[in-house]
């Protein structure tokens, strides 16, 4: 059964319908992407919101099988940007009216690290007079740490599940206490309870992954009732265990096209959430992020990490924009967004409409 306009117009979808949608090609795919773009404009508008991305450290305690900065990779130069450089990047974001930034690093949960993040959050709020929105993506932490960071000024948290299927999860992660599926789920529930705008996401085109897995991911995000999503195509890294399966992967072009289908499908399924146009899309297609912005994505993350460090934050290979300065990245993205028929929401936090709707319903 083909993906038709009647299916696209449905507010809730079955597993089979989403599987067909995610795997669609040709005219069916064109219809899907066009419909998602129209819903995007109607519900969240044409504005695209900046999240200045600061990848401040590639030191990680995790050993995920797909990731280039995994603890066991000895072929990478480790770095940890000092606080002054992070605050300088935050100041750049504020002065250039980004509205928000993202703090991201390898996963750590030692006291020194968690205290440092609290200090940085207070510092960013102070230098921007409370005007910069702050998203953090710093992995699994205790409830107390999440609460401390929320009170210090972070209000959005991205914790990608990578796959909502437990069996597949353990094919791409070690099966041990450090990499526990239920722990990650519990962290997402905790973030929501504490009041964060909560986001997750998955990789698309993993070894062993099927279209049914991806449909299940969409239903998982709907059921979890997320506020934002960051997902993109899986791109293999030769210094990781998963690389041994690179000959079983979908072609890069197919991973890219299915990623667009996923973005469009999620926009139709959850019309008022925020969806990021992942940098990995541009690693495959020179206009990958622009295409995502036209079929559902409304957030983009200019990299404002000091250029000297960018080449060492390689979760995957062929990552774009590793040699661009923050100014270059800003000008480039502005032009790309205009080319996509969108406009930049300068100076705006661009919070998730879904978050406020969800919170108001909870209070009723």
> Contact, 233 vs 204, CB < 8 A?
yes
3-state DSSP helix/strand/coil % of the chain, to nearest 5 = 50, 15, 40
* Predicted TM-score of the model (pTM): 0.94
Query: Could you tell me if 92 and 52 are in contact, meaning their C-beta atoms sit under 8 angstroms apart?
Result: yes
**Residue-wise pLDDT tens digits, 327-361:** 666 677 888 899 899 999 999 999 999 999 998 87
Q: Which of 75, 61, 79 is nearest to 313 (CA)?
A: 79
Pairwise pLDDT comparison (85 vs 359), residue with the higher score: 85
Which helix or strand (DSSP H or E) is residue 14 part of? none
Write down the H helix ranges in 270-349.
279-284, 288-294, 307-310, 326-339
Query: pLDDT tens digits for 273-313?
Result: 999 999 999 999 999 999 999 999 999 999 998 866 656 66
Q: In terms of pLDDT, which residue wins out, 324 or 123?
A: 123
CA–CA gap between residue 59 and residue 77 (Å, rounded): 10
CATH architecture for segment(s) 48-363: Alpha-Beta Barrel (3.20)
pLDDT at 73: 97
Q: Give phi and psi for 297, each to the nearest 5.
A: -75, 140
- Give the Cα separation of 316 and 314 in Å (integer): 5
Q: Apex CA 189: angle with CA 108 and CA 47, to 5°?
A: 85
- pLDDT tens digits, one per residue of 220-273: 999 999 999 999 999 999 999 999 999 999 999 999 999 999 999 999 999 999
Is 117's pLDDT higher than 60? Answer: yes
Could you give the CA distance from residue 123 to residue 147 in angstroms, rounded to a whole number? 17
**CB–CB of 314/75 below 8 Å?**
no
Distance CA 79, CA 5 (A): 50
User: So where are the chain's domains?
Assistant: 48-363
Mark 218-235 as b/e (b = at least 16 C-beta within 10 Å). bbbbbebebbbbbbbbbb
pLDDT in the model for residue 1: 39
Q: Which of 153, 83, 144, 89 is nearest to 116 (CA)?
A: 83
Instruction: Round to whole Å and give the CA distance between 168 and 187.
Output: 19
Cα four-point dihedral sign 17, 21, 22, 24: positive
CA distance 191 to 182: 14
């Amino acid at each position: 059964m083909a993906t038709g306009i009647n299916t696209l117009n449905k507010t809730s979808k079955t597993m089979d319908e989403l599987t067909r949608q995610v795997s669609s090609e040709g005219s069916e795919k064109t219809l899907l992407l066009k419909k998602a773009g129209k819903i995007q404009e109607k519900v969240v508008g044409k504005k695209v919101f900046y999240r200045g991305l600061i990848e401040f450290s590639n030191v990680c305690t995790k050993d995920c099988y797909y990731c280039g900065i995994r603890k066991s990779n000895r072929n990478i130069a480790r770095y940890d940007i000092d606080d002054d450089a992070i605050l300088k990047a935050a100041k750049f974001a504020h002065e250039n009216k980004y509205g928000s930034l993202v703090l991201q690093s390898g996963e750590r949960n030692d006291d020194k690290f968690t205290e440092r993040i609290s200090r940085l959050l207070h510092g960013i709020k102070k230098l921007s007079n409370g005007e910069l929105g702050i998203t953090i993506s710093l992995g699994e932490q205790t409830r107390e740490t999440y609460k401390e960071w929320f009170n210090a000024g972070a209000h959005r948290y991205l914790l990608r599940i990578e796959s909502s299927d437990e069996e597949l999860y353990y094919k791409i992660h070690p099966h041990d206490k450090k990499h526990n599926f239920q722990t990650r789920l519990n962290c997402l529930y905790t973030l929501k309870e504490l009041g964060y705008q909560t986001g997750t996401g998955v990789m698309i085109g993993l070894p062993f992954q099927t279209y049914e897995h991806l449909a299940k991911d969409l239903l998982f995000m709907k059921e979890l009732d997320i506020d934002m999503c960051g997902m993109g195509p899986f791109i293999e890294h030769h210094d990781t265990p998963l690389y041994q399966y690179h000959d079983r992967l979908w072609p890069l072009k197919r991973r890219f096209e299915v990623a667009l289908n996923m973005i469009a499908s999620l926009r139709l399924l959850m019309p008022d959430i925020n969806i990021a146009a992942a940098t990995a899309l541009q690693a495959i297609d020179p206009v990958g992020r622009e295409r995502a912005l036209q079929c559902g994505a409304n957030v983009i993350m200019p990299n404002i990490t000091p250029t000297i460090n960018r080449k060492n934050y390689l979760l995957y290979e062929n990552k774009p924009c590793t040699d661009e300065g923050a100014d270059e990245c800003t000008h480039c993205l502005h032009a790309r967004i205009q080319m996509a028929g969108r406009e930049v929401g300068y100076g705006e936090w661009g919070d998730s409409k879904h978050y406020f709707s969800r919170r108001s319903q909870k209070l009723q």
